Structure 1
Amino acid sequence: MSEYVLYGGKGGVGKTTCAAATALGRARAGVPTLVVSTDPAHSLSDVFDTPIGAEPTQVREGLDLWAVEVDPEDRIGRYRGQISAALEDLEELGITLDGDDLDDVIEAGVAPGTDEAAAMDLFVDYMDDPRYDCIVFDTAPTGHTLRLLKLPDVMESAAGKLITVKSQVSSLAESVQGFLGSGGDDEPDDDGPDLDLEALQERMARVGEALRDPDRTEFRVVLVPETMAILESERLLSELDTHGVPVGGAVVNRVLEDPSPDCNRCQSRHRRHRNRIEEARERLSPPLTIVPELQEEVHGFDAVEEITGHLDGSQATDASR
């Protein structure tokens, strides 16, 4: 059983519901579990129908199930002082990163303002938290998810470049101070927030290693039975393969089953869904899990529990039925 389960896919396909249901299933099995939303449009609170904030919250008393909606702004503040200071030091000494290096730093989100960077940094905190044996991630829509998965490698590389540049700047500054006879112990300390670049580099290396470990991690793609969703899922699966992220399966959500025999529209929609599922089986490599459409929207603990019964161990209930 994987330590880390990540759900991804296009917006509006039910990733949050699947993540919540999987986390509930693990907790019901006696596994202390945390479900994390990294989607800026958080909806875990709505799905569980309970307040969830930026710190892990126990979803229900007596059940080892916790949930958190990541607030990236809190973590982004850690990056601000060190990166700004590093770039200002370079500029004052007439040194600049070349275009590619600077692009790497900005793209990596080491500079302030990238939600995905904060989410990946928090990943390490949750990995190291002894309270949880399983962490389930509800990721943002596909484009954000791909940036999220690329970030550990890019940030590790960018932090390494900044470490090298900072070392060069420090050596040059010490030489200048020695020549001029200035500087020393009376220099005021920087009061701004600080970021240990070596620690950041090590943390990102750990995240990258965990994301690629098939014994610890599985990514599940969520889609609905529509052609456009199938095509986007196919592209996402290709990207996951490129980045070496192990895929545990694909979830076809909101499938109409057992339509009323006297409802022609329901019968037509049912046939369309079965055709799309067959198309998904042909185009997508991982096994499919089918989650039926509920009579009501998934809102509240009981509704999540109903979805739980169709996930984790339900791989046999695919389109071959």
Structure 2
Amino acid sequence: MFAGKGGVGKTTCAAATALHCASLGEEALVVSTDPTPSLSHIFEVKEKQKPVRVAEGLYLAELGIDEVKQMWDEKFGREVYEVFSAFVSVPYEQFADFITSILPGLRDEFTVDYIRRLANEKRYGRIVWDTAPLGQTLGLLETPAMLSQHLKPAPRIYSRLKLSTKTRRSVLDIIKGWESLSAEDMYFLRNSVRFVMVTIPEALAVEQLESIVAEFAKFGFKVKQLIINNVIMDSSSEFLLTKAQQQRQYIELLHDRYHYMEIFELPMFPHEIKGVERLKDIEKSLFE
């Protein structure tokens, strides 16, 4: 899973890593859960149907807000609505907005669950996960634990409702299903996902990285790899030399602070990274 603040190159690094996995003979899927994904742009893909083949052995999928909502609808939404509408008359769309407001992060839960189910299907030898910017990613990762806390009082509340025994049992079964889903997703995140952080050698990015790594650790998520992107390697002009020297202090700080991680320095490229051939430049820098 690739994570980092917006604009540091997460998607590019994820795409290049997926390309590398496919080059080794693994059937690979690169999937974005960013509400405004850019993988299609990087791979120059126009097809709407996903997953789509973008290279030999490599497939791309983008999971936007509409897709996540559809998964929630299919798995729990309509079932919960049937029970809820037994005692409150409300249109389904209003109900969906209401339930996701009293259980914040519920839709994020299904994003994690989508990745977990893909991994369990074992259709792909490698799944490379490109996430949303850090704030949204944190919410997504915190959702399983948060959802469990929200659901703890639910059985007691529903047991007091004047519903039929059959309906009440259905409500409690649904709650247990949510709790089970949350526990499975948290276990998956802690035991099956490799977290790769992407940053750039600038003051704000370095500062934000420290807090985010600490937040990950709080939930038992261990970041093992760090990519420092946009490192200036060319000092052929006074401007570039000054920028490179400025970056160096942050690069050294990152190496010192995260000495327990595997750290990669990715150079700044003079051209836009777009298309498979350009991505191969990134792949070469990361893996050769």
User: Bigger shift: 281-290 or 158-167?
Assistant: 158-167
Q: What corresponds to 2:235 in structure 1?
A: 259
Runs of 4+ in 1 over 6 A off after TM superposition: none
Q: What corresponds to 1:206 in structure 2?
A: 184
Q: What corresponds to 2:218 in structure 1?
A: 242
Q: What corresponds to 2:280 in structure 1?
A: 305
Q: Is the 8 A contact 1:223 1:252 kept in 2?
A: yes
Specify which of 269, 279, 285 is matched with residue 294 of structure 1.
Answer: 269
Which protein has the bigger helix share?
2
Paired with 1:54 and 1:158, the residues of 2 have a C-alpha distance of: 36
1:128 partner SS: helix
Q: What corresponds to 2:247 in structure 1?
A: 273
Taking a change above 3 Å as real, the CA distance of residues 89 and 153 of structure 1, as seen in their structure-2 partners, is: farther
> TM-score, normalising length from structure 1?
0.74
Deviations 1:66-94 (A, max 9, x none): 110003323424144344455555669xx
Taking a change above 3 Å as real, the CA distance of residues 82 and 160 of structure 1, as seen in their structure-2 partners, is: farther
Q: What corresponds to 1:72 in structure 2?
A: 65
Q: How much does 1:157 deviate?
A: 4.6
Q: Name stretches of at least 5 consecutive residues in structure 2 with no aligned partner.
A: 90-98, 168-172
Q: What corresponds to 1:173 in structure 2?
A: 163
Taking a change above 3 Å as real, the CA distance of residues 72 and 201 of structure 1, as seen in their structure-2 partners, is: farther
Taking a change above 3 Å as real, the CA distance of residues 8 and 122 of structure 1, as seen in their structure-2 partners, is: same
Q: What corresponds to 2:131 in structure 1?
A: 139
Q: What corresponds to 1:81 in structure 2?
A: 78
Q: How much does 1:163 deviate?
A: 5.6
1:47 partner SS: helix
Q: What corresponds to 1:106 in structure 2?
A: 103
Taking a change above 3 Å as real, the CA distance of residues 73 and 22 of structure 1, as seen in their structure-2 partners, is: same
Paired with 2:156 and 2:125, the residues of 1 have a C-alpha distance of: 37
Q: How much does 1:252 deviate?
A: 0.5
Deviations 1:15-69 (A, max 9, x none): 0001111111111111221111011121001111123546311112xx2111100
Deviations 1:202-234 (A, max 9, x none): 333222111111xx3211111111010001111
Quick check: 1:40 aligned with 2:15?
A: no
Q: Is the 8 A contact 2:36 2:64 kept in 1?
A: no
Q: How much does 1:311 deviate?
A: 2.5
Taking a change above 3 Å as real, the CA distance of residues 306 and 25 of structure 1, as seen in their structure-2 partners, is: same
Specify which of 126, 139, 142 is matched with residue 150 of structure 1.
Answer: 142
Taking a change above 3 Å as real, the CA distance of residues 53 and 246 of structure 1, as seen in their structure-2 partners, is: farther
1:310 partner SS: helix
Q: CA RMSD in A?
A: 2.8
1:225 partner SS: coil
Q: Is the 8 A contact 2:227 2:264 kept in 1?
A: yes
Q: How much does 1:299 deviate?
A: 0.6
User: Bigger shift: 73-82 or 250-259?
Assistant: 73-82
Amino acid of the structure 1 residue aligned with 2:112? M
Q: Is the 8 A contact 2:33 2:130 kept in 1?
A: yes
Specify which of 119, 127, 148 is matched with residue 119 of structure 2.
Answer: 127
2:235 partner SS: coil
Q: How much does 1:198 deviate?
A: 4.0
Taking a change above 3 Å as real, the CA distance of residues 83 and 164 of structure 1, as seen in their structure-2 partners, is: farther
Paired with 1:144 and 1:35, the residues of 2 have a C-alpha distance of: 19
> TM-score, normalising length from structure 2?
0.82
Specify which of 40, 50, 56 is matched with residue 55 of structure 1.
Answer: 50
2:136 partner SS: helix
Q: Is the 8 A contact 1:54 1:71 kept in 2?
A: no
